[in-house]
Structure 1
Amino acid sequence: MVTRVTDRDFSSFVRDVRKRAHVSFRELSDSAGVSNPYLQGERGVRRPSGAVLRQLALALRMTTPIMYLRAGVGRGEDGSATPLAIATDRDLTARQKQTLTEMYEAFCDQNDRTAK
């Protein structure tokens, strides 16, 4: 049975992590480099981009794969299942998952720049 992650679930997750880290809404906005209105994701923004998820993960000191999973991102923006595969691989450590995700995203960014 597949459980669908709702916007409310993700919003609650971000709020809980932010509060446990003793970070104000404004501090999170500033450190993630995301505008206050966009960061309303804590209050229900839909479909945050991969870039925003990476920035939030960094600001909250958590791994990007975990943020992808909590946001319910099963596939990357290009339709790739790679981020989910990395995040759910039981043979990898958290650091290995983070490194692989960063490498994958760097390759995708490079391909996007080359295609333009």
Structure 2
Amino acid sequence: MVKARVTETVGALGDYLKEQRTQSRLSLRQLADQAGVSNPYLSQIERGLRKPSAEVLQQIAKALRISAEQLYIRAGILSPDDGVGGSVELAVLGDPGLTERQKQSLLDVYASFLALNEVDAVAAAPADAEESVTDAETAQ
């Protein structure tokens, strides 16, 4: 299920990039040159076969003159629902002192913590509901 969601996200990103490139009246080769990536690699991104790194997305965004954050959201790196979380992710992505690999590792760890907390919250919810019922029965 997770792999399907990633594939879906990467495909949607590719469609969006192709649309933005077309609107900018750039050929695939022109955008690849401006973004500093190879033509075949950019083609694979547009076709949804590759998931680009945050750094590559930033280069593509700069070449297309669009928001890098919008590409991060479309790539699944950032969640549009994240209030505070988005700022953590943006801070990691924007830190020039980290390598691309370090950034991705930090984002992966951060995402795993959020997912673990979500699982814990769901698991705790039924127990909280049972305690409320027991407390209500005891009060009567």
Name the TM-score, length of structure 2 as normaliser: 0.53
Alpha carbons 1:65, 1:101 under 8 Å: kept: no
Q: Report the more deviating stretch, 66-75 or 13-22.
A: 66-75
Q: Distance in 2 between matches of 1:46 and 1:26?
A: 17
Match in the other structure for 2:95: 105
Runs of 4+ in 1 over 4 A off after TM superposition: none
Q: Distance in 1 between matches of 2:92 and 2:24?
A: 23
Give 1:101 deviation, angstroms: 7.6
Report whether the alignment pairs 1:12 with 2:6: no
Match in the other structure for 1:30: 33
Alpha carbons 2:13, 2:71 under 8 Å: kept: no
Q: Distance in 2 between matches of 1:52 and 1:38?
A: 10
Alpha carbons 1:10, 1:42 under 8 Å: kept: yes
Q: Distance in 2 between matches of 1:67 and 1:101?
A: 16
The alignment yields a C-alpha RMSD, in angstroms, of: 3.0
User: Which structure has more helix as a fraction of its residues?
Assistant: 2
Give 1:42 deviation, angstroms: 0.8
Alpha carbons 1:64, 1:101 under 8 Å: kept: no
Match in the other structure for 2:86: 85
| Partner secondary structure for residue 30 of structure 2 | helix
Report whether the alignment pairs 1:48 with 2:38: no
Unpaired runs of at least 5, structure 2: 103-140
**Greater length-normalized contact order (CA 8 Å, ≥ 6 residues apart):** 1
User: Considering only CA atoms, is the larger Rg found in Structure 1 or Structure 2?
Assistant: 2
How high is the sequence identity, in percent, across the aligned residues? 37
Alpha carbons 2:14, 2:47 under 8 Å: kept: yes
Report whether the alignment pairs 1:61 with 2:65: yes
